[in-house]
Every structure is written in C-alpha cells, then in structure tokens.
C-alpha cells in the first residue's frame, strides 16, 4: 500500500485530511504554512527588540559621526531597489512553480539570487567603508545599534540566499514534489518578510537618520 | 589553535568542584559504559534518541528536568548550608565560588529544571488531549529537545572546564560586561541559554500550530481541555517573548565579543535598557512556567473531585487575560531604578490587577471541589498544597507591587521568598502533580501512593520551614546573595531555613524512593485499562502507554469532557462503543536530525565560549549539512497496517470491557 492510498482512505490522518476546524486536523500544507507564519512573527518580534534598542541609542553618538554624516542615500536606494525587485522575481519563481515550468523557475531564482547577492555586496561595501573611516560598531552606542540592526537583516538575507540555492538544488533533484513545494512556499514567505523588514529599516534608520 | 583553552582552566586546586564534577563524570561514564556493554545502545538510539514521538520526547524532557532539578537542588543545599555557617565567619564557600553557585542555581532551575518539566508534560499530554496523533512538526520537536539538552550540558561542562557566571540568573550589565567579568563564565551562560532558548522558541511555534490547527474532529476551541488552553497561552507567550531574550543576549554577546556599546558604561551605552529588555521577556517567562501548571491543577482537581471544572469559560478568559497583561507589568522588577513616581504607580497597579486573573482561578478550583466526591490521591495533594501556598505567594507579590513597599523589600530575602513561593508552590507543585497524574499514562503503571504522599508532606513542610524564615529575615533587612553576614538578629532565621532544607532534602529522597519502589512493584501498580484515575479528557481514552499512533481512529468530539461522555454512555448501556473500522495509519519516521543538530550546536557553543573560531565554523557547517540531509529524505513516513492497529486496539478494548463489567461506581 502506498502512502497515497492511505491518504485517500483515512481522512483524519495527522498529515492531511479534508476540511478544518470541526473536520479534524488541517491539511499539511495549511499546517506548514501556518507554522512558518508563526515563526516569521517571532522573527519580527526579535527585530522589534533591535529596533527598540536602535531607537534608544540613535542619538548616542558619543562625539562620533551621526547618521546624517554617514548615510549615503543613493547607495541605500540602489540596495532597496535590488531587494524589492528580488521579491518580484521571487514571485515569478512562484508562478513558474505553479505552472510547473522548471526552466522559468531556475531563471527567476537565479535573478533573485543575483539581486539578493548584490544587495548584500552593497551593504558590505557600506559597512567596510564605515569601519575604514573610523565609524565602526565600537565607536559609539549609536553605531553598535546601527550595525546590529542592519547586519541582522543582512544575515537574514544571506541565510535566505543559502536557502535559495538549496531550494534550487532540491527542485533539480526531486522535482515539484509536494513537500518541496511546501518548502518553497515557506521560502517565498521568508523572502517577502525580509522585504517588509527592510522597508521599516529603510524608513527608521536611513530616512529618519539622514535627516537628523 | 584552542582559543582561550588550556590546562589552567581546570580548577585542580579547588577540591569542591573537582569532587562534584568527578562524581558527575563517573556517574555519566558508568551509565554510558553500562548502556554500551549491556548492548542497550541500539535500542536507545532507535527508540528514544532518534524518536520523534511526542510522548517519548515528553518523557525525555521530563527526565532532563528531574536530573537538572537535582543539580540545582544541590546548589541550593550548598547555599543554605554556607549561610548557616557564615555568621561572623567565612563559611566553606569562598565568595567567588558562592557567586557561581547562586548563578548556576537560578539558571539551571529556571531554564533546565522548570522549563523542560513543563514542556515535557505539554509534549506528553497535549496531542493526546487534542485527540491527534502527534504535534505539527515532530522532527522539529526532537530538535527542540536536544537543543535544550545542549544548553544543560554546556552549563554542566562549566563545572570542570573554566567557570560559570557570577552574575546571577539574569546577567545585569555593567557587571556582566568584559570589564568586570573578563572570564568565560558569562559566555557559558550566554551560549547555554541562547541555544536552549532557540529550542524553546521552536517548541512554542510547534505547539501554537498544533493546538490551533490540529484537533480531533469536533473539537472546537471551547471544547479543549484546560491544560490545552494554558499550554496554548504559554506557547503564545513563548513566541512573543523568547525572541526578545534572543535579541537581548545577542546584544550583550556583541558587547562582550566585539566591544560594542549596547550596555556599557561608556560611549553612550545604556545599561538600564538591558534591564528593561530582559524583564520584557522575564515577566512573561514566569507565566510561561506557571500557566501550564494552572492547567495541570485544573485537570487534577476536576478529575479527583469527580466533577467538571467549575467556570470553564471564565478559566479560559482568565488565562487569556493573564497572557496579555503579563506583558504590561515588567517594570515592577526595577521600581527602584528611577522611572519616577507616575510610571511606578502605573506598573504597580497593572501588577496588582494581574492577580485578579489568578484569583478567579483559585475560586473556580474551590467551587470545583465544592460538592464533589474528593479523592485524596497524590496529584490532588500537590494541588491542594498549591492552592494554599500560591495564595500566600500571590499576596506577597501584590505587596511587592506597591512601589513604596518595594523600595524597602527589593533585592531582600523577602523577594527571594516571594518568587520561590510562587515558583515552588506553583510551578514545581504543578509539575509534580502532573508527574504523578500522567506517569501511568506514560509508562503503564502508577507511582507508589504511600511514598508519594510522604514526599508531598515532607516537601510541603520543608518548603514552609525554609522560606517563611526568609520572609522574616528579609523584613529584618537581610539582602539576597550574601556570602556571609554579621547581624545577630538574622542568625536564628538563617538557621531555621537551613534546617528546613534538611526536611526538603528528605522530601527529595522520598520522591526518588517512590520512583524506585514503583518500578520494582510495577506489576502490582499496573494500569491495564489506560484510565487509572477515572479521568475525563481524551488522553484517558488511549491505552497506557499509548501506541505510537495514539488513537486507532480519531475520536469525534461532541462536547466538553469528550472522554467522560464516552465513558458515561458505556456505563449507561453497559457496553463499549462499537469497534471502529480499522485502517492503516501513516506516521512520521524517526530521525537523528535533532540529536546530530544538537551535537553540532554543542561543538559550536563550546567553541564560541572558548574563542576557537575554526571549530565554530565546523559546527555551523555540520548543522547546515544536517538540515540539508534531512531535507533530502524521500520517505518521511511509514505505514502501520490495519491489522496491527486492530490488534493493539482490541487488546485495550478487552481490558476496558472487563473493567466495565466489574464497575460498581455510580451510573448516570
Ligand atoms: C500573583 C501575582 C504576582 C505578583 C503581584 C508578583 C509581583 C512581583 C514583584 C512586584 C516582583 C519584584 C520585586 C522586586 O524585585 O523587588 C516580583 C518578583 C519576582 N516574581 Fe512575582 N509576582 C506574582 C506572581 C509571580 C509568579 C506566578 C511567578 C512565577 C511563576 C513569579 C516569579 C517572580 C520572580 C522569579 C521574581 C524575581 C526574580 C529576580 O529578581 O531575580 N511571580 N514579583
Ligand atoms: Cu514580574
């Protein structure tokens, strides 16, 4: 008996089944997506703590440079464009998955990767530049909070890139299998969430910071 | 090559930690040797270490908790005996060591004693009460368990290699910054708690998803058992609060490792921000611990009063009320730190209001008992002991919530008595009630009642004898964490507290004997039907211990107390429900992912503590590889045949049929 037959015959299996609420356990796709949403929520709570710390320390430059002196809005605008575009191409990859078009999937994911990687490179360049000019994270509490908040987002994007590659390899090796599709759904949720966090970050750190 | 590691970090010159760790190491080696030589390892590996079954994971969590409670308890014995000997004298623990002992005690008790105990019971029971086969993410569940074990291991490694933090269970800066704590002690704390914290966060996500998305057909929210409700509230709190802990500890870590200035004294750092952030997690944390305990008491009191829980809906409301308000009171932990009168007053009022939710619950439990046929089994005794003790702890809490009073009592032994009053009287009594209540479900035999009752009375008396004197001596002005003292008026109270410890120790011993005696007499204590206490919720509808798949067919729930109504119908008609149509069941395969992942986390944590950077990279790589291998598996599930399901269920049905035939109690 294959797993598929069981799925048909036992509607109340833990992994799957029809209906929800009164009909018993939700189907596995719902469960996985829901769980991942909860994870994203927790991640956003973590970012809120870093945001709060940044808000408290933003003015504590300890005689060192302030945001207005350091931030290069042109660079940040390019970063933002790259990241937002990458979300768009990630969406295209999702469409390719729905249409089961693997070639389009690889193309869209590759573009997403390139955009994400450029974002990271630009960010790294900014960081290196700041550290070299004596505005590293140890200079003042403001800079500690800045590097941590922005760097934490950057780390997330880096982790996302690693996941992206793994995801491509998985589709390559396993095809559009149910469990792989669920994983891809989580990946795209993750990638979009990083965008949302970046929008907050862009506003609170760079826009407000540059005007201060 | 090995970072800060060298032979000098092993405290050969300090006999106490050396002897203690030698004993621990020998015990562990002895157990390991026995496991391997007697050929038990393959069984342990196959059936336990790699298990993704929520019941087994629950049992392992509980075992970890019991071991760590013992470790934390021995720290407590050392502290009380040190103070008893240290009146106008140095005692036997030098200050440096004493500080490590109280820090390790608090850390171990909260993170590796109370938390795993509560989470272990949640694991064991929640899916059963929901009427489903497992949690939402079984393998992730195993990852959570083993990451928690990693944290516990790191704390215990610090006993031999290096040192532990001297900064208390919450490492306040600037003391915990490199300038004042240059050693690896705080780093041990940070990585142990950080890694275990990730495990806890994953548990929270897992249980929120399980409870909200995976319930038996017909089980609407307001048909869930009280324990499921409080577990849901605790899991929500975990999801909302633990990320704050992660971020806060990360900031302190950056300060320590890379010279950042989040909490330092110079360059604009703000140490009060640490205190705010850590308590924004810390106060919800105390409710993460105590809410599931409230759930356990609800189950136990209703079962042993042979009545439905009084005011079920108001209990649900009170739980959710506490869940939300627990995020709005954190400042009561530092009234003295200069927030000003208005802010203090607001938080003082909010804090007092939270006691209302608890008050509702206490009344509900009393009305549940009122008019019931109460059976005084051990779980019920723990619950009754809790009700009295917790009310006292709550009242001292409300007293501390009055800012002017808190200015006098903050950081005194009165505070210490308060939180032990609620944590021991609430969380620990709850955990012990749950342990004795659900033990037969986990293992198929009950715990010995006589030894259990003895353990209860000794623990209860020992608790009062230890902590009532601390209230008194706190009012006399004795502050917490004193290695020695010179005030004659305190001395008698400290001695009484020390004597109380002896009684408590007897309680601990009785509890250990209870376990040993019960295992030896398991044939006589056997629970053949799966319903040893005349229970009311769905876990009692399964055999003890339940098969991997829990339910031969998922139950259809038609009201509150689903199992009670099934049982009443059976008693009425004098026959069991019809046999379900047995069908094959698909279950998740066991997986070593959790264990291997934790192995790499241990390597990484240890390497981070000692600044061995290549090893950190190796650990990270290993963890990633483990996940990829896990993601690559093709067959995550296996099928249990209908015949096998039928065989297991029929055996249990015949035991239940027999019990029904000889049933003499009241019938509906
Ligand atoms: C009935 C409601 C409660 C009230 C009104 C209350 C109030 C307070 C207050 C005002 C403090 C701070 C005192 C100070 O630092 O000077 C405090 C400390 C504490 N409470 Fe409670 N509390 C309550 C319940 C609980 C519960 C249920 C727990 C645990 C399960 C708990 C655990 C603690 C701990 C661990 C500390 C202090 C730890 C430390 O400073 O290291 N409390 N409580
Ligand atoms: Cu509190």
Report all structural domains of chain B as residue ranges with CATH numbers, in order of start.
40-591+633-662 (1.20.210.10)
Per-residue confidence (pLDDT) for residue B628, from 0 to 100: 87
pLDDT tens digit string along B581-606?
899 998 999 999 999 999 999 999 99
Q: B563 and B537 in contact (C-beta within 8 Å)?
A: yes
* Helices (runs of H) and strands (runs of E) counted in chain A: 8, 0
Contact check, Cβ <8 Å, A1/B637: no
- Per-residue pLDDT at A8 exceeds 70: no
Best of A12, A161, A164 to substitute, by most chain B Cβ atoms within 10 angstroms, is A12
pLDDT above 70 for B444: yes
Whether the per-residue pLDDT at A7 is higher than 50: the answer is no
Task: Give the 3-state secondary structure of B540-555.
Answer: HHCCCCCCCCCCCCCC
- Residue B299: Cβ within 10 Å count: 28
pLDDT at B548: 93
- Kindly state the average pLDDT of the residues A58-86: 90
As a whole number of angstroms, the distance between CA B292 and CA B236 comes to: 12
Q: Is the dihedral of CA B510, B512, B516, B519 positive or negative?
A: positive
pLDDT exceeds 70 at position A14: no
Convert the pLDDT of each residue in B611-637 to its tens digit: 899 999 999 999 889 988 888 888 888
Angle, nearest 10°, between helix axes A28-57 and B185-213? 140
How much is the pLDDT for A85?
95
Q: What percent of chain B shows pLDDT beyond 90?
A: 73
Ligand nearest, relative to CA of residue B241: 2
Place of tokens 């010995």: B448
Averaged pLDDT for residues A30-53: 95
Annotated catalytic residue B43: no
Q: Which two tokens stand for residue A95?
A: 């469409």
Per-residue confidence at A19, pLDDT binned at 50, 70, 90?
very low
Closest by Cβ to A141, choosing from B205, B244, B261: B261
Which among B102, B310, B437, B467 is annotated as catalytic?
Answer: B102
pLDDT at residue number A209: 83
What is the reported pLDDT for A66? Answer: 87
pTM: 0.92
SS3 of B585, please? strand
pLDDT of residue A1: 36
- Give the tens place of pLDDT for each residue, B40-52: 888 889 899 999 9
Least confident of B415-424, B545-554, B568-577: B568-577
* Lookup result for tokens 């963890």: B623
Q: What is the pLDDT of residue B438?
A: 96
Q: What is the pLDDT of residues B9-38, one digit of tens each?
A: 777 777 777 787 788 788 888 888 888 888
Check residue B634 and give its pLDDT. 82
**Residues B496, B471: contact at Cβ < 8 Å?**
no
| A16's tokens | 């799957």
Q: How far apart are CA B215 and CA B204, in angstroms?
A: 17
Residue B135 vs residues B55, B60, B101, B562: alpha-carbon distances, Å? 10, 16, 37, 20
Question: Would you state the structure tokens that stand for residue B191, as one six-digit string?
Answer: 């990585």
- Most B CBs within 10 A among A13, A149, A174, hence the mutation to make, goes to A13
Is A86's Cβ below 8 Å from some Cβ in B? no
pLDDT band per the 50, 70, 90 thresholds, residue A67: confident
Give the tens place of pLDDT for each residue, A120-149.
999 999 999 999 998 899 999 999 999 999
Nearest Cα residue to atom 27 of ligand 1: B422
B108-130 per-position pLDDT tens digit: 999 999 999 999 999 999 999 99
Of A16 and B567, the structure prediction assigns the larger pLDDT to: B567
Res B238 pLDDT > 50: yes
Helix/strand/coil for B602:
helix
B402 close to B341: Cβ distance less than 8 angstroms = no
For residue B587, the surrounding DSSP H or E stretch is: strand B585-588
Check: CB of residue A210 under 8 Å from CB of residue A71: yes
Query: Looking at B61, B274, B414, B435, which residue is catalytic?
Result: B61
Backbone angles phi, psi at B585, to 5 degrees: -125, 140
Q: Distance from the CA of B662 to the center of ligand 1, in angstroms?
A: 50
Cβ atoms of residues B268 and A142 within 8 Å: yes
User: Would you tell me how many other CB atoms lie within 10 Å of the CB of residue B547?
Assistant: 22
Helix, strand, coil distribution of chain B in percent, nearest 5: 70, 0, 30
Rounded CA-CA distance B505/B210 in Å is 38
Q: Any residues with CB less than 8 A from the CB of B521 and at least 6 apart, and which?
A: B448
pLDDT tens readout for residues B510-534: 999 999 999 999 999 998 888 999 9
Banded model confidence at residue B213, pLDDT cuts 50, 70, 90: very high
| Eight-state DSSP code of residue B485 | B
What is the predicted pLDDT for the residue at B363? 94
Check residue A18 and give its pLDDT.
37
CATH domain A27-211 topology: 1.20.120
User: Residue B160's pLDDT is what?
Assistant: 82
Looking at the partner chain, which of B137, B220, B268 has a beta carbon nearest the beta carbon of A35?
A: B137
- d(CA A148, CA A153) in angstroms, rounded, equals 9
Would you call A178 exposed, middle or buried from its count of C-beta atoms within 10 A (0-12, 13-18, 19+)? exposed
Q: Do A10 and B583 touch (CB under 8 A)?
A: yes
Distance CA B584, CA B185 (A): 53
pLDDT for position B571: 86
Mean pLDDT of B469-481: 94
Query: A4 CB near a chain B CB, below 8 Å?
Result: no
Place B608 in a pLDDT band, splitting at 50, 70 and 90: very high
pLDDT at residue A212, as a whole number = 67
Q: Which residue has the higher pLDDT, A7 or B217?
A: B217
Search chain B and give the residue with CA nearest A1: B639
User: Catalytic site residue B358?
Assistant: yes
- Contact assignment for B269 to A12 by CB distance below 8 Å: no
pLDDT tens digits, B150-209 = 999 999 888 888 889 899 999 999 999 998 999 899 999 999 999 999 999 999 999 999
- B265 noted as active-site residue: no
- Residues in chain A with CB shorter than 8 Å from the CB of B268 are 57, 60-62, 140-142
Report yes or no: B246 and B196 within 8 Å, Cβ to Cβ: no
Q: What is the distance between the alpha carbons of residues A185 and A33, in angstroms, rounded to a whole number?
A: 7
Q: How confident is the model at residue A62 (pLDDT cuts 50, 70, 90)?
A: confident
Mind giving me the DSSP string for B201-227? Answer: HHHHHHHHHHHHH---TT--GGGS-HH
SS3 assignment, position B479? strand
pLDDT of residue A22: 65
pLDDT of B102 reads 94
Q: Average of pLDDT values for B55-81?
A: 94
Measured CA to CA, the distance from residue B548 to residue B635 in angstroms comes to: 18
Provide the pLDDT for residue B262: 94
Examine the pLDDT at B485 and tell me if it is beyond 90: yes
Token readout for B138 is 């079984």
Q: What is the arithmetic mean of pLDDT over B78-100?
A: 91
Residue B370 is among the residues annotated as catalytic for this protein: no
Whether B123 is catalytic: yes
* Mean pLDDT for the stretch of residues B292-310: 95
Q: Whose CA is nearest to atom 20 of ligand 1?
A: B419
Q: What integer is the mean pLDDT of B276-297?
A: 95
Q: Who contacts A166 (Cβ-Cβ below 8 Å, separation ≥6)?
A: B628, B631
Average pLDDT of chain B, as a whole number: 92
Q: What is the pLDDT of residue A64?
A: 86
């Amino acid at each position: 008996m294959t797993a598929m037959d069981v799925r048909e015959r036992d509607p109340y299996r833990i992994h799957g089944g029809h209906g929800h609420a009164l009909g018993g356990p939700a189907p596995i796709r719902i469960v996985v997506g829901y769980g991942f949403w909860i994870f994203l929520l927790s991640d956003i709570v973590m970012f809120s703590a870093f945001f709060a710390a940044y808000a408290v320390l933003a003015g504590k430059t300890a005689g060192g440079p302030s945001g207005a002196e350091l931030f290069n809005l042109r660079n940040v605008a390019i970063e933002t464009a790259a990241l937002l575009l990458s979300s768009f191409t990630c969406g295209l990859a999702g469409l390719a998955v729905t249409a089961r078009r693997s070639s389009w999937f690889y193309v869209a994911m590759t573009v997403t990767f390139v955009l994400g990687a450029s974002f990271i490179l630009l960010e790294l360049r900014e960081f290196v530049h700041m550290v070299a000019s004596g505005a590293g994270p140890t200079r003042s509490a403001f800079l500690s909070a800045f590097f941590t908040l922005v760097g934490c987002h950057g780390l997330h994007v880096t982790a996302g890139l690693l996941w992206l590659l793994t995801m491509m390899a998985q589709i390559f090796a396993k095809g559009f299998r149910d469990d792989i599709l669920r994983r891809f759904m989580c990946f795209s949720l993750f990638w979009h969430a990083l965008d949302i966090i970046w929008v907050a970050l862009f506003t609170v750190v760079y826009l407000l910071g540059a005007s201060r | 090559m090995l970072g800060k590691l060298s032979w000098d970090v092993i405290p050969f010159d300090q006999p106490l930690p050396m002897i203690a760790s030698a004993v621990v190491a020998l015990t562990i080696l002895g157990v390991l040797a026995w496991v391997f030589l007697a050929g038990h390892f393959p069984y342990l590996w196959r059936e336990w270490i790699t298990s993704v079954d929520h019941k087994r994971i629950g049992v392992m969590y509980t075992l970890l908790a019991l071991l760590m409670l013992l470790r934390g308890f021995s720290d407590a014995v050392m502290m009380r005996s040190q103070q008893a000997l240290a009146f106008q004298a140095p005692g036997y623990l030098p200050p440096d060591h004493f500080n490590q002992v109280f820090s390790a005690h608090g850390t171990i008790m909260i993170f590796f004693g109370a938390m795993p105990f509560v989470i272990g019971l949640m694991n064991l029971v929640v899916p059963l009460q929901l009427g489903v086969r497992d949690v939402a993410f079984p393998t992730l569940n195993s990852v959570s368990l083993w990451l928690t074990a990693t944290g516990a291991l790191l704390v215990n490694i610090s006993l031999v290699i290096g040192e532990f933090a001297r900064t208390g269970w919450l490492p306040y800066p600037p003391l915990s910054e490199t300038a004042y704590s240059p050693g690896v002690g705080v780093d041990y704390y940070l990585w142990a708690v950080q890694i275990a914290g990730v495990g806890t966060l994953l548990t929270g996500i897992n249980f929120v998803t399980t409870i909200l998305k995976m319930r038996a057909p017909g089980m609407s929210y307001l048909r869930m058992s009280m324990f499921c409700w409080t577990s849901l509230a605790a899991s929500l709190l975990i999801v909302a609060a633990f990320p704050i802990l992660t971020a806060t500890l990360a900031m302190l870590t950056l300060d320590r490792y890379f010279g950042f200035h989040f909490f330092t004294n110079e360059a604009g750092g703000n140490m009060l921000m640490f205190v705010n952030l850590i308590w924004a997690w810390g106060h919800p944390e105390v409710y993460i611990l105590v809410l599931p305990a409230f759930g356990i008491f609800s189950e136990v009191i209703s079962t042993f009063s042979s009545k439905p829980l009084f005011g079920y809906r108001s209990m649900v409301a009170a739980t959710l009320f506490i869940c939300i308000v627990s995020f709005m009171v954190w400042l009561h932990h530092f009234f003295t730190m200069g927030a000003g009168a208005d802010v203090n007053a607001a938080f003082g009022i909010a804090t007092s209001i939270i006691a209302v939710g608890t008050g509702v619950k206490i009344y509900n439990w009393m009305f549940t008992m009122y008019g019931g046929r109460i059976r005084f089994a051990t779980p019920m005794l723990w619950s009754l002991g809790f009700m009295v003790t917790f009310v006292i702890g709550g009242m001292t809490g409300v007293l501390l919530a009055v800012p002017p009073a808190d200015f006098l009592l903050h950081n005194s032994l009165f505070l210490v008595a308060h939180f032990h009053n609620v944590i021991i009287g609430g969380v620990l009594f709850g955990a012990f009630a749950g342990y004795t209540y659900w033990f037969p479900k986990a293992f198929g035999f009950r715990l010995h009642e006589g030894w259990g009752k003895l353990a209860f009375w000794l623990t209860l008396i020992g608790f009062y004898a230890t902590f009532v004197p601390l209230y008194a001596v706190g009012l006399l002005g004795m502050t917490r964490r004193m290695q020695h003292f010179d005030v004659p008026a305190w001395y008698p109270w400290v001695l009484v507290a020390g004597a109380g410890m002896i009684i408590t120790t007897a309680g601990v011993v009785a509890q250990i004997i209870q376990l040993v005696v019960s295992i030896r007499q398991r044939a006589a204590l056997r629970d053949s039907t799966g319903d040893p206490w005349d229970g009311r919720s769905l876990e009692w509808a399964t055999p003890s211990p339940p098969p991997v798949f829990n339910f031969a067919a998922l139950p259809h729930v038609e009201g509150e107390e689903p199992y009670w109504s099934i049982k009443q119908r059976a008693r009425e008609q004098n026959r069991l429900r019809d046999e379900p149509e047995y069908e094959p069941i698909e279950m998740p395969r066991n997986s070593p992912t959790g264990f291997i992942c934790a192995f790499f986390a241990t390597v990484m944590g240890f390497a981070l503590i000692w600044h061995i950077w290549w090893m950190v990279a190796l650990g990270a790589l290993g963890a990633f590889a483990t996940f990829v291998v896990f993601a690559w598996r093709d067959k995550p599930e296996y099928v249990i045949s209908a015949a096998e399901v039928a065989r297991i269920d029929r055996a249990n049905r015949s035991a239940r049929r027999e019990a029904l035939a000889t049933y003499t109690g009241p019938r509906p």
